[in-house]
Amino acid sequence: MAVRIKTQYGTIDISNTVIATVVGGAATDVYGIIGMASKNQIRDNLNDILRKENYARGVVVRQEENGVAIDVYIIVGYGTKISEVCRNVQDKVKYNLETMLGVSANSVNVFVQGVRVLAD
């Protein structure tokens, strides 16, 4: 399922994989984020940090009537304030979706899947 935007020139379809890549890139730019985590760590047998090509495994995109709902699964760095990091992820994801894709995010839910020690 994709997001469909109608313009005067035609229709634009944006796939969920593209949205997940934009969301993953925005989330990993936030200070305190070690990386993305898999949403189904047991099924995917992944306990590692996802690379850029696998961001879609750590993001769930659901279409709603007037926008999308996003679930982001992250790993945060030890010693950071988790609530502040999550709030920054929500703001950055919402901003990037609106500026880069023209898609409004109705909700951005952040799930912390783990805490890792930051490398010095």
Which superfamily does 15-116 belong to?
Cation efflux protein, cytoplasmic domain (3.30.70.1350)
Is the confidence at residue 54, as pLDDT, over 90? no
Rounded to the nearest integer, the mean pLDDT of the chain is 84
Residues 107/63, Cβ–Cβ less than 8 Å: no
Give the N- to C-terminal CA distance of the chain in Å, as an integer.
41
Residues 70/103, Cβ–Cβ less than 8 Å: no
What's residue 81's pLDDT? 93
What's 97's DSSP letter? I
Instruction: Give the closest residue to 106 by CA, choosing from 114, 115, 119, 97.
Output: 97
User: Whose structure tokens read 């950055």?
Assistant: 92
Cα distances from 38 to residues 26, 44, 46, 48, 64, in angstroms, run 16, 7, 7, 8, 23
Q: Is the pTM for the entire model greater than 0.95?
A: no
Please give the Cα distance from 3 to 101 (Å, whole number).
10
The residue among 66 and 18 whose pLDDT is bigger is 18
Is the confidence at residue 19, as pLDDT, over 60? yes
Biggest CA-to-CA distance, the chain? 52
In the chain, domain spans: 15-116
Q: What confidence tier does 58 reach under pLDDT thresholds 50, 70, 90?
A: confident
